[in-house]
Amino acid sequence: MMGDIHFTSYMALLPELYLAVATLLLLLYGVYRSPRVDTPMVLLGLLIVAITGACVFHCFKGTQLVMNGMLITDAFSTLAKYLLLMGTALTLLLSADWLRENGGKPFECVMLMLFSTLGMMLMVSAADLLTLYLALEMSSLSLYVLAAFDRDHAKSSEAGLKYFVLGALASGMLLFGISLVYGFAGTTNFSALSTLFTGSHDVVSRGVIVGLILVIIGFCFKVSAVPFHMWTPDVYEGSPTPVTAFFATAPKVAAFALLARLLMQPFGALAGQWQQVIIFVSVASMIVGALAAIMQTNIKRLLAYSSIGHAGFMLMGLAAANEAGVQAMLIYLGVYIFMSAGAFGCVLLMRRQGHYIEDIRELAGMSQTHPASAFVLAVFMFSMAGIPPLAGFFGKLYVIWAAVGAHLVWLAIIGVITSVISGFYYIKIVKLMYFDDPKPAFDNDSSLLLRAAIAISATVTLLFFIIPTPLVEQAKAAAEALLK
Amino acid sequence: MLTALILMPLLGALIIMLFVRGDGEHAAGEARYVALFTTCLTFFVSLAAWIGFDGSTANFQFIEKHEWFTGFNISYSLGIDGISLFLLLLTTFLMPICILCSWESIQHRVRAFMACFLILESMVIGVFCALDAVMFYLFFEGMLIPMYLIIGIWGGKQRIYAAYKFFLYAFAGSVLFLVAVLYLYFSFGTTSIPDLIKLAPTLPLSVQKWLFLAMLASFAVKVPMWPVHTWLPDAHVQAPTAGSVILAGILLKMGGYGFLRFSLPMLPLASHYFAPLIFGLSVVAVIYTSLVALMQQDMKKLIAYSSVAHMGFVTIGIFTFNIQGLDGAMVQMISHGLVSGALFLCVGVVYDRLHTREIARYGGVVNIMPKYAVIFMFFTLASVGLPSTSGFVGEFLVLLGAYHTNTWVAFLATSGVVLGAAYMLWLYRRVVFGEVVHDDVRNMHEMNTREMTFFIPIVLLVLWIGLYPKPYFSAMEASVKQLVAQSAVGVKP
């Protein structure tokens, strides 16, 4: 049993180990040198993320089980790690201004982001229900604290508390589901579960199904899918904007990747049981995301509902329950982190005399006061609406493609209809910026780092259609590895 | 060559956005000249495509094909045949005219305007050249962004409402087209248009019906057919003159082109099945919107409704499935693009002087602007379908084709021609003839050289098509014949 613990198998864990050690070293640097965030600290954080990415690249050698089958690295987890590290890096870049303002935020903020990223990396590698739960909690606990990071603001504290209470409830359900699955199946290991269910669909007990549903519910909380989305608008609105940007990128990738692995690997043979649940959640998310956002005037709430709608689209890929579906979901995720990070970057530009502004009406006439910023925000909005040739269109194209391929044509039709409805509020923002009379200009002192984050996101969103192959091919390889 | 056609305007737009700096009159002037130069150059290159075009074959020509989305069989492929050639030429021909007509009427944010127009041109050229359904969709939908901005930023008082309506109508229609395309992909494993034309007609009628309806949703909004035409009057009235010209001249043709490129050859059974429905809607469009046009007080709105009626002839012609009807539909599309575009320019000319489009505010213009009266007269008659103008050729052929298929349709559509004469001539009488009653009309000045410059080529072209259409027919003959054959695949006589 203990025989396969040897050095090479730990090599596959190098990225996680490196990230853990490096973050702890950065913590020491923070304690001894700079208790407040300064530029070197942000840059060091970025460097750590970049080196971790390099380690992920270096350590990927086909599918490998590590630590007695508790963790796994394969093409799927590798791509998910790239994406979530990208999300973290973009968030770090665009939080730079916020982190350094008023002499710098407490340095723990950067640590929490990195520790949360570590948890997420373990999440996407989880190959056992226990590691799944531990990794999820590791990342979530950091996120709870981050949500409440502006502790002098009531809204931020409220967001943190709300997120914590509801998140804990979701974790409870998840854990209960896991215990049911364990109780009825007798194992928590993914491959063992998979073997157990394959070829025996008629004898799967009710307990496993109930457990599975509870686990799915737990994940629906994490990816903010309807009907478990209630926390999203409040937490998105209350948390400091860079933290919201973080919520909208890396944790989304991790939760979706983990959900995909869970449904496709151990419970792959039970697709007939969970598919309808995912279809329902997907449809509900798309509809709520499209309708509820129309009346929003706070841009962060608007983006929160928009993220619910996008979650619905990604779940549509998952609902197809095949390789094309997983590939589509990964492409959508890859595109979405750039659109989302870019959009939040633009929200961070909305400042007057150092105060952040969140009312969308204040965007009026931005095309005349800040032509470049208005242009990129318009690009993100059209992209989220799914207008070609921007990147968001291709995300939608692939999930709809997968749904049609899985004979879910009506699901695809609901998807395109909701995307038209949501088009309304995306173009409303463009209308405000381009058609209305200008309001006073925003502050023009944003740093190079923030601008770089927005520029990277905009470039990817705008030019994805020229060289789509890298992401598409990687996603294909990942999906193949997952369904092997 | 086709890639160059798509990229040239895009390059022009980039130059304007990146290298023309500042907001002053100087920068605006530079932007105008760059745009004019680019569009003229694009026009000459497209002329070269016509000269190099081989009219004896129905195959796609100037084909370019490159891998794009590997593994999904979406390729970057371009090509034109006799049908798309003339719509392409129409586009490149009207664009420099649009730039010229906005020379003075657009005064704020000139750089952005010119950039939007050039991007729009490249998208429209892409639509007519694309030989891959996903690429077609990409351009078809991508053109919403610049058009939305053109209506919304430089439009009239109700521009925001009109821009929303335009965007959401077009978006809602086209997404269903996308689902249909994906369905075809899963049936045949390709999105290439020439391949789908070969393969798709084998689908059973029950499937074809659904696909046809999904595509109809998209093309009917663009044409626009009654009852989804309501975005058009708003968009036309609110858009700046150049925007109206492009809407009427080119964007509406994308709907007709869609029918010719997708519905007819790919879904022949369903096309025949739904032909009576299309005839019904078209006849309603011809008669009802003509009646509505009679009642309009706003010049642009009147011409907008007349567009719906004229496009009704196009859809009738397309669904006759015979050579006369299809030839007629093609000529009618080109003719309508030129004539209604020119009519919007005519409105633009007086609007620039008086800043109102209300018919009652004019009257007696002939006494002040005789040259303008002649030009306006010419296009009014062309719109009515006077023999020797292009409008006559189109309407006559469509009616001839319809007469072969369905006498009642031909009869009812002909009544639309009479109504068309009524509202157009009445409009002309009210604006141009009579006594000058308003003082500000007296102060209007005659058209200047720039304005004459953009009318003369259209006049010549309309006369050319009206008097000697043979070069056009001979270039599209093979393609139309093939289309007739394709649209009869599997149909029981």
Q: Which residue of B has its CA nearest to A433?
A: B153
Bridging pattern class, strands A71-73 and A64-66: antiparallel
Interface probe, candidates A411, A427, A471, chain B, greatest B C-beta count within 10 A: A427
* CA nearest to B211 within chain A: A409
Cα–Cα distance, A30 to A14 (Å, whole number) = 24
Which of A191, A195, A189 has the alpha carbon at shortest distance from A131? A189
CA A2 to chain centroid, in Å, comes to 35
Q: Do A423 and B141 touch (CB under 8 A)?
A: no
Question: To 5 degrees, how large is the angle CA A349–CA B110–CA A451?
Answer: 20
Facing residue for B149 by CB, picked from A400, A420, A434: A434
Q: How far is B187 from chain A (nearest CA, A)?
A: 9
Please check the confidence at residue A7 and state whether its pLDDT lies above 80. no
- What is the separation, in whole angstroms, between the first and last Cα of chain A? 25
**Statement: residue A260 has pLDDT above 90:** yes
Is residue A162 domain-resident? yes
Whether residue A133 has pLDDT greater than 80? yes
The alpha carbon of residue B4 is apart from the nearest alpha carbon of chain A, in Å, by: 16
Say what the pLDDT of residue A203 is.
Answer: 63
User: Per the CB < 8 Å rule, is A469 touching B70?
Assistant: yes
The nearest alpha carbon in chain A to B175 belongs to: A416
Contact A387 B182 (CB under 8 A): no
Of A387, A431, A468, the CB nearest to B160: A431
Range of the structural domain that residue A105 is part of = 7-483
pLDDT in tens, B200-215: 888 888 888 899 999 9
Q: Is residue B184 part of a domain?
A: yes
Cβ B234 vs Cβ B161: under 8 Å? yes
Residues in B touching A473 (Cβ below 8 Å): 70-71
Q: Which residue of B has its CA nearest to A390?
A: B142
Residue A2: inside a domain, yes or no? no
Chain B residues 218-257 within an 8 A CB cutoff of chain A: none
Relative to beta strand A64-66, strand B61-69 is unpaired
- The kind and range of the H/E element at A5 are none
Token digits of residue A141: 């606990």
pLDDT at A3: 43
pLDDT at B71: 67
Residue B126 lies in a domain: yes
What residues of chain B lie within 8 A of the CB of A400, using their CB? 178-179, 182
Min Cα separation A417/chain B (Å): 7
What does residue A3 show for φ and ψ, rounded to 5 degrees?
-60, -30
- Which range marks the domain in which residue B292 is found? 2-486
CA distances in angstroms from B364 to A294, B299, B425, listed in the order given: 49, 15, 14
A457-475: pLDDT as tens digits: 999 999 888 888 888 889 9
Q: Is A416 in Cβ contact with B178 (below 8 Å)?
A: yes
Give how far A397 is from chain B: nearest CA, Å: 8
Q: Which of A385, A427, A434 sits opposite B153 (nearest CB)?
A: A434
Residue A1: pLDDT band with limits 50, 70, 90: very low
Taking CA atoms, what residue in A is nearest to B184?
A: A404
Task: Identify whether A1 is part of a domain.
Answer: no
Let me know: does A273 contact A206? Beta carbons within 8 Å: no
Q: Range with the lowest mean pLDDT among A3-7, B45-49, B373-377? A: A3-7
Q: Is A317 helix (H, G, I), strand (E, B) or coil?
A: helix
DSSP A439: P
- The partner residue sitting opposite B179, judged by closest CB among A367, A413, A465, is A413
Give A258 to chain B, closest Cα distance, Å.
Answer: 25
Cβ-nearest to B179 among A416, A420, A473: A416
What is the predicted ipTM?
A: 0.85
For residue A307, is it within any domain? yes
Distance CA B466, CA B382 (A): 9
Q: Which tens digit of pLDDT belongs to each residue from A387-399?
A: 888 999 999 989 9
**B55 or B313: which carries more pLDDT confidence?**
B313
Residue A367 lies in a domain: yes
Q: What is the pLDDT of residue B182?
A: 86
What does the alpha-carbon distance between residue A14 and residue A25 come to, in Å, rounded to a whole number? 16
Q: How many CA atoms lie within 13 A of B366 on its CB side?
A: 13
Rounded to a whole number of angstroms, the distance from the CA of B343 to the nearest CA of chain A is 27
Mean pLDDT across chain A: 89
Do A401 and B185 lie within an 8 Å CB cutoff? yes
At B190-245, the pLDDT tens digits run: 888 888 888 888 888 888 889 999 999 889 988 888 888 888 888 888 888 888 88
What does the block give as tokens for A267? 């419970």
Q: How many domains does chain A have?
A: 1
For B181-196, b/e burial (b = at least 16 CB within 10 A) is: bbbbbeebebbbbbbb
Structural domains of chain B, count: 1
In the structure, what pLDDT confidence band is assigned to residue A2 with cuts at 50, 70 and 90? very low
Chain A interface includes B146 (CB < 8 A): no
Q: What share of residues in chain B are helix, strand, coil (percent, to 5)?
A: 80, 5, 20
Of the candidates B89, B135, B90, B98, the residue with the CA atom closest to the CA atom of residue B117:
B98
Q: Which residue has the tokens 């737990």?
A: A218
User: 3-class DSSP state for residue A387?
Assistant: coil
Would B353 be classed as within a structural domain?
Answer: yes
The string of pLDDT tens digits covering residues B318-339 is 998 888 888 889 999 999 999 9
